[in-house]
Structure formats: structure tokens, C-alpha cells
Amino acid sequence: MLLPDFSLENKLINTGLNFIAGTDEVGRGAWAGPVTAAAVILDPKKIPNEINDSKKLTKNKRNQLSEEIIATSISYSIIHVSVFEIDKINILEASMLAMRNAAHSLNKAPSHILIDGNKIPTNLNCPATAIVKGDNLSLTIAAASILAKVARDQIMEDLAEDFPKYGWETNVGYGTKAHIQGISQYGITPHHRLSFKPIHKML
């Protein structure tokens, strides 16, 4: 299995840029719950082993790595953008807002930011590079994907205790069969994204 590496970061570090941040978001395609982004600056001397794109890891491995990344990184931040905000500005803008706010919330100002995807959020406080499938290539972006996924999954598991009919503890708000069944039987909740077509249609 090909793992992401630190070569993109090292190229930038070799030009004299010390603090390379990575950012990624999760929950963009979900029907319910926030969109979450994390930003992280890894310490090149203390990078945890087995960091990978969060989607390729088991839940236990993600949780373990999340703790290790938090313990060893130079700086990290996690930002949630609410359903209200998603419906107000649209999911693409909400994802960009989450990543920008995550980058701006780092307590160490980054010299450069590596961003997962093909679009760079506006008004960042330093230069940035967008990298398609960045969580498969860059350890820093992959680390951010892990932090964001673990934090968002926890929110959805907590919400599932209050709204137990939608399967959020396993589908984390995505449009699975159990989720669709829950909506058709019990209706929507304040945590559903009304601007999303499937939810909009059901209304």
C-alpha cells in the first residue's frame, strides 16, 4: 500500500519555509451535521507512523493516530461549520470557510499551507498550494484528514444519542438506507441540511 510521504513538505522546507501546514475537510457530502476541517503543522522529527488518508484507516487506528498527531504536532486546530451556515452560504463555501478558519486558528503562523482538493480558500494569511488527492500524497494533509474525521464522527455519534432513528452513529450523516428510512418514518431534524437536494425533495 502506497502511503503519503513528507516530500512535498520537505521541498518547501528546503526553500527556507519552516512551518508547513496541511488542511482537509470532511463531511462535505453528508445530509446532516456540520462540515469539519482540521489544519496541522507536523513536527518533522516526531511524525507518527502509519498516517494515511483517513478513509483508508479503521476507526480504532484513526482514533489512535488522532491522539498521536495532537500530542506530537507543532500546532493543530479543528473547526466545525454548522448546518445553519451550510444552508446559508452553500456547502462548497462552507468547506472553504472551515479550511480557512482552521488554518487561521493555528497558534503557530504557517509559512505555507497544503490544501486537499483543487481549490484554495480566499483570504488565507500565507501562500498555499491545492493538491488533488492530497490526503494520499502529503502526510500533513493526511494528518489533517484524520483529525477532522475523528472530531466530526464524534459529533455525529453524540447527536445519534439524541436522534437515534437515523443511524448517525455508523453513517455519520451520509445518505445511507438506514438514514433514508429514518427520514421517511420520523421526518427531518434541526441537524439536516435543508439546502441538500435529497432533503429538499423530501420536504
CATH code of residue 139: 3.30.420.10
Question: HSE of 46 in the Cβ direction (CA atoms, 13 Å)?
Answer: 12
Residue 150 lies in a domain: yes
Closest CA to 74 of 124, 154, 143, 25: 143
- Residue 123 inside a domain? The answer is yes
Q: What are the beta bridge partners of residue 41?
A: 21, 75
- Residue 60 belongs to a domain: yes
**How far is 120 from 52, CA to CA, in rounded Å?**
22
Provide the number of structural domains found in the chain: 1
Give the span between the Cα atoms of 113 and 126, in whole angstroms: 7
| pLDDT tens digits for range 98-155 | 999 999 999 999 999 999 999 999 999 999 999 999 999 999 999 999 999 999 999 9
Span 24-42, mean pLDDT? 98
Range of the domain at 154: 7-161
- Tell me the per-residue pLDDT of 75-101, one tens digit each, with 9 for 90 and over: 999 999 999 999 999 999 999 999 999
Answer yes or no: is pLDDT of 1 > 90. no
